[in-house]
Structure 1
Amino acid sequence: MGLSEGFWHHEYWLPPGATWEDMKESANIHYPQPQNLLLCIPGALLLIIVRSIFERTLALPLGRRLGVSDKLRPKVQPNVMLEGFYVLLGRTPKEGDLVSLAKQSDLPVEKVKIWFRHRRAQDRPRVMKKFCEASWRFAFYFTSFFSGLGLLYDKPWFWDHTVCWLRFPQQPLPSALDWFYLLELSFYCSLVATLPFDVKRKLAKMLHYMKWKRACEAVFIGFAVVFIISRLVIFPLITYYYFVTKFQLFLISCLINTFLMILQLLHIFWSYLIIQMLFSVILHGAKRKDARSDTEESDRSEAEDLAKNEV
């Protein structure tokens, strides 16, 4: 038995008694094939290219038209010594390092502190970049949601979740749905590939960047309700109850269920944070700072520094 055959052996991937022979395609019946998963790699690369084009040609002009603008940040004076420390040793030097750097560069300690604060601000993603990223995710999620709705609304398992696992694993899949699921997988693979470069903002942040406060709060409340119902009720009901209790466990199902249980714990944790934020929005409104913000230093500090530089 070759390495590929051993990896795809039916005892690992299918319930007891089922083999890959049971899932052979015919003229009228299409089954998902495991090798099709490899198509998500070129799919992810294609989506990254599409995203780059979308952000440059659509999201950027749209943001400008809607009034999204980057805040003016203080300029950092070139300094080879401080820049070397910043790149090699750390973005936030300790007090002893600040004193040493001040002596070596012949600058007051306060000036060195301000230089590092401005340098950190320079590296923070600008508002327009955040808006473009959020726009791409919104466009994809919006399109995929309604596409999925159009593909699934007439399927029995869309309305009755007990049918999801009926005759598993011999479940024919229409070609359109097969490509739809492959597109979804490719999208999340593309997000993994761009993870080091993304700002990771939510969809509602688009409204925040446009300063549509009421609309932002309304979208967040809607998101919270949908998230809690779908992740704490529907997801565990379909996944655990019907899959775990109706079928004998096999190797891959044990691994998948382990990951799904970890994911469910994360859902509970995220729901707790969302509920906290929800009460903050409802009870405190603008008086409570947005816990989702990724600001390192306050805008007030930047504004003060900018004013000093101009003076």
Structure 2
Amino acid sequence: MWNEEFWLPRNTTWTNFTVLEQQGIRLPQLHDLIYVYPLALLLYVTRLLLEYCIAQPVGRLVGIRQVHLRNSRVSLLGKFSESCWRFIFYLCIFLYGNQVNSFLFPLKKSWTWDTKDCWLNYPNHRLTDDIFWYYMIELAFYWSLIFSQFIDVKRKDFWQMFLHHIATISLLSFSYTVNFVRIGALVLVIHDCGDFWLEVG
């Protein structure tokens, strides 16, 4: 089942990974994903605190009321506070993603500007701390969205968003465990660059 010719690039064996780890080169491990669950809980609690302690008072201050839109179970103030949370998260993770991918310092990570380098010497890519945390935070965020969907007011697009979050978590988990983290980090920042603008409108 774990045939090296099928799963690994040419001239690579499973023992190569053991040798790399013995040399102190950190590679993504499946068990790393356990960190996602406490982070997801932390993000959810952070969201609640931000919504109730900051976004809702600001919303009331600018005149947004706790009234429900026609045919909606979510109030205007609830939508405003949720959009504030998502805007802040997406903006922060986008800025962090830019730092991770070194867009301002392209010589630091050559694969940022030349995507062929994403595959250079694959799968022997060292997992850096910044990419590790980028993946963990993104995964935790999408897990927190799944959890919060069952607690929040159920919306019309509940199942569509649920499937979207499952697909995102699956893709992130797969790209992490097979060490596609270079190209994965680039894809993440490209997706994040549009998300915070969606919350403004």
Q: Structure 1 length normalisation: TM-score?
A: 0.42
Give the Å deviation of 1:22. 4.8
- The count of aligned residue pairs is 148
Q: Which amino acid aligns with 2:82?
A: E
Q: Which amino acid aligns with 1:18?
A: T
Give the Å deviation of 1:138. 0.6
Structure 2, unaligned runs of 5 or more: 156-176, 179-201
Give the Å deviation of 1:23. 4.3
Q: Retained in 2: the 8 A contact 1:47–1:187?
A: yes
| Correspondence for 2:45 | 49
Q: Which amino acid aligns with 1:38?
A: I
- Equivalents in 2 of 1:69, 1:168: separation in Å? 54
Alpha-carbon distance change, 34 to 176 in structure 1, aligned in 2, over 3 angstroms: same
Give the alignment's Cα RMSD to 1 decimal: 3.2
Of 59, 65, 77, 1:63 maps to 59
- Equivalents in 2 of 1:21, 1:163: separation in Å? 23
| Correspondence for 2:75 | 126
Give the Å deviation of 1:147. 1.2
Q: Does 1:147 align with 2:142?
A: no
Q: Does 1:187 align with 2:136?
A: no
| Correspondence for 1:24 | 21
Of 120, 136, 146, 1:166 maps to 120
Q: Retained in 2: the 8 A contact 1:43–1:183?
A: yes
Q: Which amino acid aligns with 2:58?
A: L
| Correspondence for 1:37 | 33
- Equivalents in 2 of 1:188, 1:72: separation in Å? 27
Q: Retained in 2: the 8 A contact 1:133–1:199?
A: no
Q: Which amino acid aligns with 1:130?
A: K
- Equivalents in 2 of 1:198, 1:175: separation in Å? 36
Residues 106-117 of structure 1 aligned to structure 2 (within 5 Å): none
Give the Å deviation of 1:132. 1.0
- Equivalents in 2 of 1:140, 1:182: separation in Å? 14
Give the Å deviation of 1:133. 1.0
Structure 1, unaligned runs of 5 or more: 1-5, 74-119, 201-251, 254-311
* Bigger radius of gyration: 1
- Equivalents in 2 of 1:68, 1:141: separation in Å? 23
- Equivalents in 2 of 1:25, 1:55: separation in Å? 46
Q: Retained in 1: the 8 A contact 2:68–2:76?
A: no
Deviations, residues 107-131 of structure 1 (Å, cap 9, x unaligned):
xxxxxxxxxxxxx95x711111111
Give the Å deviation of 1:160. 1.3
Secondary structure of residue in 2 paired with 1:49: helix
Q: Does 1:15 align with 2:8?
A: yes
Deviations, residues 149-200 of structure 1 (Å, cap 9, x unaligned):
1221232111111211222211112112211211111111111111232677
After TM superposition, what 4+ stretches of structure 1 lie above 6 angstroms from structure 2? none
Q: Retained in 1: the 8 A contact 2:66–2:78?
A: no
Q: Retained in 2: the 8 A contact 1:25–1:31?
A: no
Alpha-carbon distance change, 10 to 24 in structure 1, aligned in 2, over 3 angstroms: farther
Q: Which amino acid aligns with 2:43?
A: L
Give the Å deviation of 1:70. 3.1
Alpha-carbon distance change, 70 to 38 in structure 1, aligned in 2, over 3 angstroms: same
